[in-house]
Amino acid sequence: MGEEVLLVGEKPESAYTLELMTMLGKGAPRVVVRAVGRNISKAVYVTEGVRRLTGDKIAYGKIRIYSTEVGEVKEEKSVPVIEIEVVNLGVERRA
């Protein structure tokens, strides 16, 4: 199974919480939750909410914070990005 990615955008937190729970429930060993700009706090709330809902059956892996350039050439601006790796502790690990 490839890397699962959940892109957090403008939908309500509950939509992303449900999607992350579904991905983990289907056996995804890891999900990277990615958000840009103003949606970063929403990504943090979603991952923390899922951690609490699952009774600590997930853990955080790598957390990356960086910036990327968006916009037209010569009118680009830098926006922050966060990637939170959520590790599903309920899935047996294979060597």
pLDDT digits 0-9 by tens, 4-19: 999 999 999 999 999 9
Whether the model clears a pTM of 0.85, i.e. scores above it, the answer is yes
* Domains of the chain: residue spans and CATH: 4-88 (3.30.110.20)
Buried b (16+ CB within 10 A) or exposed e, 26-60: eebbbbbbbbbeebbebbbebbebbeeebeeebee
Q: What is the pLDDT of residues 25-34, one digit of tens each?
A: 999 999 999 9
